[in-house]
Amino acid sequence: MLFMVIERFRDDDMVPVYRHLRDAGRVLPEGLEYVDSWIEPNFSRCFQLMRCDDVRLFQEWVLQWRGLGVTFEIIPVVPSKETREVVAPHLNAAAA
């Protein structure tokens, strides 16, 4: 499954998080895959696309970031292509 992870940096300060990444690397539990990420220009939030089949792996991963001034919102997402396939049979149905 795919997940959008929204990280919020306390006081828009991402330096502690980047320092942790530099010093410890991107340590992920086996089965949790980092796909890509994007940062807001004001450093307020980071949006990460991640993949896993066991959401407990996110709990394990989030615990590594305690005390660094970052909070996480983890949202399951469905790629647009797959959503179009789900919606397609309903496109020609009469409106209710």
Q: Sort residue 93 into left (φ over 0), alpha (ψ -120 to 50) or beta.
A: beta
DSSP at 14? -
Mean pLDDT calculated for residue range 31-45: 94
CA 36 – CA 34 distance, rounded (Å): 6
Q: Note the pLDDT tens digit of each residue in 57-91.
A: 999 999 988 888 899 999 999 999 999 999 998 98
* Predicted structure pTM score: 0.83
Q: Bridge partners of 21?
A: none
**Over 80: is that where the pLDDT of 94 sits?**
no
pLDDT at 95: 67
pLDDT at 51: 97
Between residues 47 and 93, which one has the greater pLDDT? 47
CATH number of 2-90: 3.30.70
**Over 90: is that where the pLDDT of 41 sits?**
yes
Strand order in the sheet with 70-77: 33-39, 45-51, 2-9, 70-77
The confidence band for 96, taking pLDDT boundaries of 50, 70 and 90, is low
The ranges assigned to domains in the chain are 2-90
